[in-house]
């Protein structure tokens, strides 16, 4: 049974990933187990709002795509803006980061700008810059442990 499940996951190019930090709270918590679709970006680029897994400095990170190539991204008093327009973020409690400012910054071709949902406690594109699309391993499909739910 375990061998069959491992074969199925491997043949569908689904990668199990464990969340290691609190940077995506409340959406994801440290210790959550995810399934990542490694085929998601073979033919299409990441889109705003996608939860992605990517490699950075020898670590595998999970963040949300806030902006894509060609966009201008900023944060004004805790409100994410893309191309000068405020973005509605249902998973974010803006009251937890009033007074937070960033940018504006242009997102170069071939990259995405990623942010953690827990903005005050996330190391993300604000510190290390946009992520090359080639470093994105895949899109989070679901959290399967401790309780299944869509991300």
* 45-52 CB contacts, 8 Å cutoff, 24+ apart: 45/69, 45/112, 45/133, 46/112, 46/133, 46/136, 46/139, 48/82, 48/87, 50/139, 50/140, 51/24, 51/27, 51/139, 51/140, 51/151, 52/112, 52/114, 52/136, 52/137, 52/138, 52/139, 52/140
Q: Which residues pair with 17 in a beta bridge?
A: 34
% of the chain at pLDDT higher than 90? 54
For 35-90, how does the pLDDT look when each residue is reduced to its tens digit (9 = 90+)?
999 999 998 999 999 999 999 988 899 999 999 999 999 999 889 999 999 999 88
pLDDT category at 13 given cuts 50, 70, 90 is confident
Which one of 11, 21, 57, 63 is the catalytic residue? Answer: 63
Q: Which candidate, 64, 111, 108, places its Cα nearest to that of 90?
A: 64
Which one of 23, 57, 59, 122 is the catalytic residue? Answer: 23
- Is 63 a catalytic site residue? yes
- Is 23 a catalytic site residue? yes
The answer to pTM > 0.75 is yes
């Amino acid at each position: 049974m375990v061998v069959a499940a491992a074969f199925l996951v491997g043949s569908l190019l689904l990668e199990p990933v464990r969340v290691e930090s609190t940077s995506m709270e409340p959406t994801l918590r440290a210790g959550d187990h995810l399934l990542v679709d490694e085929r998601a970006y073979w033919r299409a680029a990441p889109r705003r709002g996608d939860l992605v897994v990517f490699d950075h400095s020898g670590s595998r990170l999970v963040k949300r795509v806030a902006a894509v190539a060609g966009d201008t991204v900023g944060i004004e008093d805790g409100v994410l803006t893309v191309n000068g327009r405020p973005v509605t973020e249902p998973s974010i409690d803006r009251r937890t980061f009033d007074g937070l400012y960033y940018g504006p910054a242009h997102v170069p071709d071939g990259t995405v700008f990623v942010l953690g949902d827990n903005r005050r406690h996330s190391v993300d594109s604000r510190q290390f810059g946009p992520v090359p699309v080639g470093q994105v391993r895949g899109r989070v499909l679901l959290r399967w442990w401790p309780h299944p739910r869509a991300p």
